[in-house]
Structure 1
Amino acid sequence: MPRHSAAQEVPAASFTFDALVEDMRRLAQTSYMAPKPVEGFLADLDYDAYQRIRFRPEQARWQEKGVAFRLHAFHPGWLFKEAVKINEVRGDAVEPMGFTTADFEYDDEELAKSIPPNAEMPGVAGFRLHTPLNRADIFDELIVFQGASYFRALGKDTLYGLSARGLAVNTGLPEGEEFPRFSEVWLRRPEPGDDSATIYAALDSPSVTGAYQFVITPGEDTTVEVTMRLFLREDIKQLGIAPLTSMFLHNGADKGNFDDFRPAVHDSEVLVLNTGKDTTLCRPLNNPPRLASSYFGAQSPRSFGLAQRNREFEHYLDAQAHYERRPSLMIEPMGDWGKGTLRLVEIPSDLEGNDNIVAYWIPEGETRAGDELAYGYRMHWGMTPPGATPQTLGRVVRLRSGHGGVAGVEADTETRKFVIDFAGGQLSDMPSDAELEPVTSAQNGEIVEAILSRVDGRDEWRLVLELRAEPDAIVEIKAVLSGYDRNLTETWVYQWINA
């Protein structure tokens, strides 16, 4: 059966998100057909050639006066062998948004000679939107969609860091991961005065189809409101909703074997999960010795995400990458998501160019062929988006680890020491003799010692934990500071692999 095109089945005079949903529902009832790869000169582009191609800024779409968004496209070829069709929606009408070789600059002379002039592209590798994010007179990059269902956005004063995806399918499972892709996209043409941009996308893969709507509002914290409808072709062992992808190489907690002048290298440093009104879980990230996963069950989470909390240059000392300006990303569920599990996957890595952190929500229950799922959520991208740092609770401000025993004498190689510093919330007003108690636990390990004290001269409280575990044990550690019949801090959780 020929593959249906959503653009062909939705009448040009009546494009709506609901029509796209119906189209993807019908598509899920047909056999999957892999996209046709690009041909001709596009198929011959290698890494070096592709890096010398750029979109001409003067060819940006939507340059009319008063329009706050401009569209640039990415050239197909190299790794991006399946072109994505782009359409423009204006009112109720929809029509293809074509691109040709004249829209691109080919910086290499020999390459330029081999490119047919004004040749029509079969689609593009992706696109990005620009807007006056940081200055009224400059159209900065705002959001990029490129590769499978990957996209990433910026808030004010941030630089690109972590990414998001439309969906995760069997991530980190032995049977192998499937990467659904946005096969076709519709962009609603912005009008003068519009402060948001709307994008629709069709998702397709062997196991699932989907219809997506993104409403993007730039600002101090850029928000992306996502509405998604999923239709399962096949059983899926593990479905990941609102997946996030980031990089964590090392920091002060454990530098591993990295001989690096920089004290920390990461796009994100903690996983955050907000459940109850005053219940926040903080999980510092790891670069583990082997593939590792952590699971956090929750009922109707308020928000979750990957945060870059430390905003001081001195924490990173990288004058090129400026990791202190990488955005945090928090997911705010819309509606009741019910019971589920937040999964964190950490992959060993020795290069900062590799994304080795994945986090996503797994809904409770099986996901079977024929199922239809609906989710909505708001994404908050920025320096301090809501939920990334608790407002009323003390938070983890520092984590260090090292050999056990007393500093300055012979190391105790049988134990491991963890030093967690808490600050903020009501802790700042607590005297050094305040009746605070650390509530701690360790699964698959033993807490040998737990000592809590206030750091002299600072509004910080230091918890020192010393643990013992069997070789190769995976130890899940938890600690929260309690006092006056309530928790006063977020809950620190950590996975220690005693390798």
Structure 2
Amino acid sequence: MSNTAPLIDLVSRRAFLRFTAAIAPFSLMGQGAVFAQTAGTAPVDAAADAPAAPQQFSFDILSDEMKALATQPFATAPAPAGFLGDLTYDDYRLIRFRDDRARWTEKGSNFRLAAFHMGWLFPEPVRIFEVAQGQSTEMRFTTDDFEYLNDLVKRVPEHAKLPGVAGFRLNFALNRPDKLDELVAFVGASYFRALGRGSSYGLSARGLALNTATSQAEEFPRFSRFYMERGAADANSITVYATLEGPSVTGAYRFVITPGADTQMEVTARLFFRQDVTELGIAPLTSMFLFSEKNRAQFDDYRPNVHDSEGLRIVRTDGDVLWRPLNNPSQLTGGYFSETAPRAFGLFQRDRDFQNYQDVGARYESRPSLNVEPMGDWGKGNVRLVEIPSQLEANDNIVAYWVPDGAVKAGDAREFAYRLHWGDLPHDDTEVLAYVFETRAGHGGISGVEAVQGTRKFVIDFKGGILAQLDDEAMVEPIVTMSSGEVLGTTVEKIAGTDIWRLVIDASAASGAIIEMGAHIAGFDRKLTETWLYQWINTK
């Protein structure tokens, strides 16, 4: 984990997604993000020549094609020629998709499709096809589909056929029936993002993670083709198929996307390996954590919290729940959480109170949580968490994914199915376990006196569950573990007038030590709370 090349690749790859969101309304993710819910204009044939004949299509056909491709050497796409190869940062921010060129504006379709322009950070063409009645037909795009602002329009040829696009977005009436809000976007390598009702864009998912933060340089395979199957008229779900290509792997993916308060994606990934892989990451999630109540002292900022996600949540096979608050560490770190057939894991934004963020632009309280629900038996493996030091909220510095047991060798094939849930994903009030409501930290010892070197105080608030119905501290017991160092003292009490129980831990450790901590509250011969996990790097 000392290799810095994967760290640089990870942050730089993620930075362009934050860029495209930040440059609205000029970007292709800006003004075109909301359409009026009207019949609009008829769909256009954007091709400069006659469209190619439809081809027979199925997920199995696509999978067989990618399996065969894995036996061939990897070939990179040639650099784009002409004006596409000359686009700069300043040029790219002056391009947006024309709302009146959106596909599927005919009456009866609940989705709209718009494309992202090639060029700048997106030099490789992505092709998009529509699937109907077992046949696929390529969607063609030209410069007529995009608006080029300012002097850029003089450099762009009219009616020019484009070799492809950078990706696409889908719009749907997610929040109100008369507006088609942006629902999901696929752009850049295998990155994609989605929204639940009331959400604003935050963390991302990827099709695959390869060699993240290992001794090998991280590889970013990309989705090279998409196949869109809308289904019946007025359908409220859509199926997207994708091909994945990279030096070490090919793949065929199926995403069944159903919008809602909890937008769901049922994902099937069929993977075929060209080369050995050091570490395979399934269902990877990528997010940002800068600071919260436990490390805010490191940042001179008026905002109490800045993060897209605040914790990693793992639901184990037996229903036990692990909650690991995220860190912005002083060094590249993280951890492996050994599991067998976990029920779920994900990155969550639990705090939904604007008062705790105070950012009227970013609206961190509306960033979605993202939960991964394995479908089928995933067997033994690890949920891996990677935390990267960062001083800027523009960088995503958090990665989480599933690492299956066993070596991955050239010629191997793997299949994984899982369901992604995007949205607020509030805590289920019927859960019997209290959940971690907040984690705070500060210098150890007694308040108001000089801090003792090498000590730290951790304050964990638990809310809900059976515990909320109890009032007597004598009925419960704090259980605290440390991998090294010493627990100096613990207290547990209910905060008067609330259903919150507070566990306070004072601990000490040697300077420079990395300590794995765990805690929960027990009573009546059982766990009453989630298991709080924490990694303390003692820099004092």
Identity of aligned residues (%): 54
SS across alignment from 1:42: helix
Match of 1:133 in 2: 174
Q: Which amino acid in the other structure matches residue 231 of structure 1?
A: F
Q: Which amino acid in the other structure matches residue 421 of structure 1?
A: D
In structure 2, do the counterparts of structure 1 residues 190 and 106 end up closer, same or farther at CA, with 3 Å as the change threshold?
farther
* 1:333 is aligned to 2:374: yes
> Could you tell me whether the CA contact under 8 Å between 1:330 and 1:385 is conserved in 2?
no
Which residue, 258, 276, 282 being the options, matches 2:299? 258
Aligned-pair CA distance for 1:248: 0.4
Aligned-pair CA distance for 1:132: 0.3
Q: Which amino acid in the other structure matches residue 220 of structure 2?
A: F
Match of 1:5 in 2: none
Aligned-pair CA distance for 1:413: 2.0
Q: Which amino acid in the other structure matches residue 476 of structure 1?
A: E
In structure 2, do the counterparts of structure 1 residues 401 and 454 end up closer, same or farther at CA, with 3 Å as the change threshold?
same
Mapped partners of 1:342, 1:474: distance in 2: 19
Mapped partners of 1:133, 1:236: distance in 2: 39
> What whole-Å deviation, never above 9, does each CA across 1:157-215 have from its counterpart, x for those lacking one?
00000000000000011221000100111111444221111111010111111000000
Match of 2:66 in 1: 24
* 1:118 is aligned to 2:159: yes
> Could you tell me whether the CA contact under 8 Å between 1:168 and 1:239 is conserved in 2?
yes
SS across alignment from 1:216: strand
Aligned-pair CA distance for 1:440: 1.1
* 1:33 is aligned to 2:104: no
Please list every run of 5 or more consecutive structure 2 residues that lacks an aligned counterpart in the other structure. Answer: 1-51
Which residue, 295, 298, 321 being the options, matches 2:339? 298
Q: Which amino acid in the other structure matches residue 24 of structure 1?
A: M
Match of 1:91 in 2: 133
Q: Which amino acid in the other structure matches residue 497 of structure 2?
A: G
Match of 1:396 in 2: 436
> Could you tell me whether the CA contact under 8 Å between 1:312 and 1:324 is conserved in 2?
yes
> What whole-Å deviation, never above 9, does each CA across 1:5-56 have from its counterpart, x for those lacking one?
xxxxx99442000001000110011111112221110111111110010000
* 1:444 is aligned to 2:484: yes
SS across alignment from 2:517: strand
Note the 1:275-290 alignment, pairs <5 A.
Answer: 275-290=316-331
* 1:46 is aligned to 2:84: no
Q: Which amino acid in the other structure matches residue 291 of structure 1?
A: L
Q: Which amino acid in the other structure matches residue 137 of structure 1?
A: D
Mapped partners of 2:537, 2:320: distance in 1: 26
Mapped partners of 1:329, 1:112: distance in 2: 39
Please, which moves more after superposition, 113-122 or 184-193? 184-193
Q: Which amino acid in the other structure matches residue 39 of structure 1?
A: A
> Could you tell me whether the CA contact under 8 Å between 1:347 and 1:356 is conserved in 2?
yes
Mapped partners of 2:407, 2:427: distance in 1: 32
Mapped partners of 1:263, 1:186: distance in 2: 43
In structure 2, do the counterparts of structure 1 residues 394 and 343 end up closer, same or farther at CA, with 3 Å as the change threshold?
same
> Could you tell me whether the CA contact under 8 Å between 1:67 and 1:190 is conserved in 2?
no
* 1:237 is aligned to 2:281: no
Match of 1:248 in 2: 289
> Could you tell me whether the CA contact under 8 Å between 1:308 and 1:324 is conserved in 2?
yes
> Could you tell me whether the CA contact under 8 Å between 1:232 and 1:368 is conserved in 2?
yes
Match of 1:167 in 2: 208
> Could you tell me whether the CA contact under 8 Å between 2:230 and 2:237 is conserved in 1?
no
Mapped partners of 2:493, 2:188: distance in 1: 49
Q: Which amino acid in the other structure matches residue 443 of structure 1?
A: S
> Could you tell me whether the CA contact under 8 Å between 1:278 and 1:393 is conserved in 2?
no
Query: Pairwise CA RMSD of aligned residues?
Result: 1.5
Match of 1:65 in 2: 107
Q: Which amino acid in the other structure matches residue 398 of structure 1?
A: E
In structure 2, do the counterparts of structure 1 residues 36 and 219 end up closer, same or farther at CA, with 3 Å as the change threshold?
same
> What whole-Å deviation, never above 9, does each CA across 1:320-366 have from its counterpart, x for those lacking one?
11000000000000000011100000001111111100000000111
Please list every run of 5 or more consecutive structure 1 residues that lacks an aligned counterpart in the other structure. Answer: 1-9
* 1:410 is aligned to 2:457: no
SS across alignment from 2:91: helix
Q: How many residues align?
A: 488
Please, which moves more after superposition, 446-455 or 253-262? 446-455
> What whole-Å deviation, never above 9, does each CA across 1:295-338 have from its counterpart, x for those lacking one?
10111100100000000001100011100000000000000001
Match of 1:482 in 2: 522
SS across alignment from 1:64: coil
> Could you tell me whether the CA contact under 8 Å between 2:345 and 2:373 is conserved in 1?
yes
> Could you tell me whether the CA contact under 8 Å between 1:232 and 1:371 is conserved in 2?
yes
> What whole-Å deviation, never above 9, does each CA across 1:112-132 have from its counterpart, x for those lacking one?
011000111110011000000
Q: Which amino acid in the other structure matches residue 259 of structure 1?
A: D
Mapped partners of 2:473, 2:369: distance in 1: 36
Mapped partners of 2:474, 2:510: distance in 1: 36
Q: Which amino acid in the other structure matches residue 60 of structure 2?
A: D
Which residue, 358, 380, 389 being the options, matches 2:399? 358
SS across alignment from 2:453: strand
Match of 2:538 in 1: 498
SS across alignment from 2:152: helix
> What whole-Å deviation, never above 9, does each CA across 1:412-448 have from its counterpart, x for those lacking one?
1221111111111011110133411111111132212
Which residue, 491, 511, 514 being the options, matches 1:471? 511
> Could you tell me whether the CA contact under 8 Å between 2:55 and 2:137 is conserved in 1?
no
> Could you tell me whether the CA contact under 8 Å between 1:380 and 1:386 is conserved in 2?
no
Please, which moves more after superposition, 156-165 or 399-408? 399-408
Q: Which amino acid in the other structure matches residue 117 of structure 1?
A: E
Match of 2:195 in 1: 154
Mapped partners of 1:494, 1:463: distance in 2: 14
Q: Which amino acid in the other structure matches residue 167 of structure 2?
A: G
SS across alignment from 2:298: coil
Aligned-pair CA distance for 1:386: 7.6
Mapped partners of 2:436, 2:426: distance in 1: 17
Aligned-pair CA distance for 1:294: 1.0
Which residue, 142, 152, 175 being the options, matches 1:100? 142
After TM superposition, where is structure 1 displaced by more than 6 Å over at least 4 residues in a row?
none
> Could you tell me whether the CA contact under 8 Å between 1:330 and 1:386 is conserved in 2?
no
Q: Which amino acid in the other structure matches residue 36 of structure 1?
A: P
Aligned-pair CA distance for 1:236: 0.4
Match of 2:32 in 1: none
Match of 1:379 in 2: 420
Match of 1:6 in 2: none
Mapped partners of 2:363, 2:77: distance in 1: 38
Q: Which amino acid in the other structure matches residue 414 of structure 1?
A: G
Q: Which amino acid in the other structure matches residue 81 of structure 1?
A: P
Mapped partners of 2:60, 2:194: distance in 1: 26
Mapped partners of 2:319, 2:56: distance in 1: 46
Q: Which amino acid in the other structure matches residue 87 of structure 1?
A: F
Match of 2:10 in 1: none
* 1:74 is aligned to 2:130: no
Note the 1:192-271 alignment, pairs <5 A.
Answer: 192-271=233-312
